[in-house]
């Protein structure tokens, strides 16, 4: 764990997640009736709950819009959900104004081109292990886990560890 990542993680008050390729494995599943389903990792969900219990606010910003993501956010208690919004930096600006936070207080986990402007701008911009190469090259750090396979949990534990709310010996992925 780099000291730079831990230093960046200390000031985080808001953790923001992309969905497809980050909270899921990035595959889209369509049934014959046109409905869609996604699979989520329970380890990631627990990590998000741990962050919120520690006082870190959470949000999801996704370019796609599906009822499944709305259900997952509600199930986890994520208060800020933005779907169908391609320009994620504009959404983040709206959210920061609402919460009275600065970019330096934000951590973001993404995997592809729409995530890049946010990753470059926030205090802790991270990419999942299987993110597009140009995203990994611009991120402050890269998770060991792939999207949908515990990357979000690793991201959450990094923030908790940096803020002294998790002992390294108890971190599942670090």
Helix/strand/coil (H/E/C) assignment for every residue in 91-110: HHHHHHHHHCCCHHHEEEEE
Q: What are phi and psi of 100, to 5 degrees?
A: 55, 50
Q: What are phi and psi of 81, to 5 degrees?
A: -125, 125
Q: Tokens 């959404």 sit at which residue?
A: 91
Show the tokens assigned to 172.
């599942």
- DSSP lists the bridge partners of residue 60 as 17, 81
Mean pLDDT of 74-96: 97
Q: How confident is the model at residue 30 (pLDDT cuts 50, 70, 90)?
A: confident
Q: What are phi and psi of 17, to 5 degrees?
A: -125, 140
Listed residue (50, 95, 39) closest to 72, CA to CA: 39
Sketch the domain layout of the chain as residue ranges: 3-172
| Residue 86 pLDDT > 70 | yes
Mean pLDDT of 26-55: 92
Q: How confident is the model at residue 166 (pLDDT cuts 50, 70, 90)?
A: confident
Its CATH architecture, for the domain 3-172, is 3-Layer(aba) Sandwich (3.40)
Strand, coil or helix: 86: coil
What pTM, to 2 d.p., does this model score?
Answer: 0.94
Q: Which residues lie closer than 8 Å to 134 by C-beta, 6 or more apart?
A: 113, 116
Least confident of 28-37, 39-48, 74-83, 99-108: 28-37
| Residue 31 pLDDT > 90 | no
Is 18 annotated to bind a ligand? Reply is yes
CB atoms within 10 A of CB 74: 11
């Amino acid at each position: 764990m780099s000291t730079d990542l831990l230093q960046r993680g200390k000031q985080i008050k808001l953790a923001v997640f992309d969905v497809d390729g980050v909270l899921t494995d990035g595959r889209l599943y369509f049934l014959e009736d046109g409905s869609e389903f996604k699979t989520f990792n329970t380890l990631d969900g627990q990590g998000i709950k741990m962050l919120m219990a520690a006082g870190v606010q959470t949000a999801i910003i996704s370019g796609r819009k599906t009822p499944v993501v709305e259900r997952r956010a509600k199930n986890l208690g994520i208060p800020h959900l933005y779907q169908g919004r391609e320009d994620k930096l504009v959404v983040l600006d709206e959210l920061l104004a609402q919460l009275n936070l600065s970019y330096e207080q934000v951590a973001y986990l993404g995997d592809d081109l729409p995530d890049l402007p946010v990753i470059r701008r926030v205090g802790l911009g991270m990419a999942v292990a299987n993110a597009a190469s140009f995203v990994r090259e611009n991120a402050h750090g890269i998770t060991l886990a792939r999207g949908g396979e515990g990357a979000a949990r690793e991201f959450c534990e990094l923030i908790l560890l940096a803020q002294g709310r998790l002992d390294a010996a108890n971190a599942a992925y670090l």
